[in-house]
Amino acid sequence: MPTNLQNERLHFPQVGEVEVVRIKRKDIELQVQPNGQCRVRAPLDLSLADLSALVEKRITWLEAKQAITTLNARRPKEYVSGESFWFQGDEHSLDLVKHGKRSNLVFDGRKFLLLPDAASEGKKWFTQFYKREAKEIVGKLVSKISSRLGYSPTSVKILELGARWGSCSKAGGVNFNWKLAMLPPRIVEYLIIHELTHLDIPVHSPEFWRRVEIAYPEYRQAEAWLKEHGSKTTL
Ligand SMILES: [Zn+2]
């Protein structure tokens, strides 16, 4: 697991703050998060001063990458190599490659690999991937959070919900948008708590928000995050 125990950060006028993640590796790796925030994965024993010098050398590249990320965020996908896609809050690039696996689209832990012949239907394969993952991720989290907070939804469904993140049924079930698979786990947790709370209180009354806040104190930040980044989940 990547760690940033010291909460190390670098700052460059060109790109702003660069988060430092220490990891067992020999070289550094620069990344730009979907929100434009830069991150560097660095060897455990590299001093912050040396790291800063290494990042500085590649700052022009990082600045360009950040500009493209911000620009691309709201643009429909083209399904070409080098394009990036969200998965659980991190950005991963796409490679069009004959990968020899059975599905058209696979995720290898770092990158998305898509068969070149399947690129014309890229949207379909990514949607299918996210739906499958959302079922797994959301299903597990709903049962964990439900038992912690004392809810018992009658069903949990992953659906095409358009611009909505979640909804609940009169029968006491909760439904979630498959795009939750793209979002950071902490935000997914908020959306689940939000819908579970609706099982008891259907409207956004002060009592509703009070209940949400008890379960998820930083709900305002989560709402703000969704407002700022939610539209970047367009495929
Ligand atoms: Zn609501």
Q: What is the DSSP string of the chain?
A: --B-TT--EEEETTTEEEEEEE-S-SS-EEEE-TTS-EEEEE-TT--HHHHHHHHHHTHHHHHHHHHHHHHHTTSPP---TT-EEEETTEEEEEEE-----SSSEEE-SS-EEE-GGGGGGHHHHHHHHHHHHHHHHHHHHHHHHHHHHT---S-EEEE--TT-SEEE-TTS-EEEEGGGGGS-HHHHHHHHHHHHHHHH--S--HHHHHHHHHH-TTHHHHHHHHHHHGGGG--
Task: Quote the ligand 1 centre to 209 CA distance (angstroms).
Answer: 9
Give the separation between CA 177 and CA 127, rounded to whole angstroms. 11
| All domains of the chain in start order, with CATH | 9-72 (no CATH), 84-124 (no CATH), 130-233 (3.30.2010.10)
Q: Position of tokens 């590649």?
A: 58
Report CA(75)–ligand 1 centroid distance (Å).
Answer: 27
Encode pLDDT of 9-47 as tens digits: 899 988 988 999 999 989 999 998 877 889 999 999 999
Q: How far apart are CA 43 and CA 51, in angstroms?
A: 9
Distance, in Å, from the CA atom of 51 to the CA atom of 121, rounded to the nearest integer, reads 41
Q: Residue 138 has what pLDDT? A: 98
Distance from residue 148's CA to the centre of ligand 1 (Å): 20
| Alpha carbon of 146 to ligand 1 centroid (Å) | 17
Q: How far is the CA of 20 from the centre of ligand 1 (A)?
A: 35
Taking the model in full, what pTM does it have?
A: 0.71
* Distance (Å) from CA 168 to ligand 1 centroid: 9
**Which pair of tokens denotes residue 156?**
């949990």
State yes or no: pLDDT of 1 exceeds 50. Answer: no
Residue 4: pLDDT over 70 = no
Q: Average pLDDT of 191-219?
A: 96
Which pLDDT tens digit goes with each residue over 54-96?
999 999 999 998 888 877 666 789 999 999 999 999 999 999 9
pLDDT at 25: 87
Ligand 1 midpoint to CA 228 (Å): 18
Taking the centre of ligand 1 as the mean of its atom positions, its distance from the CA of residue 39, in whole angstroms, is: 33
CA of 121 to the centre of ligand 1 (A): 33
What is the 195 CA–ligand 1 centroid distance (Å)? 6
User: 132 alpha carbon to ligand 1 midpoint, in Å?
Assistant: 24
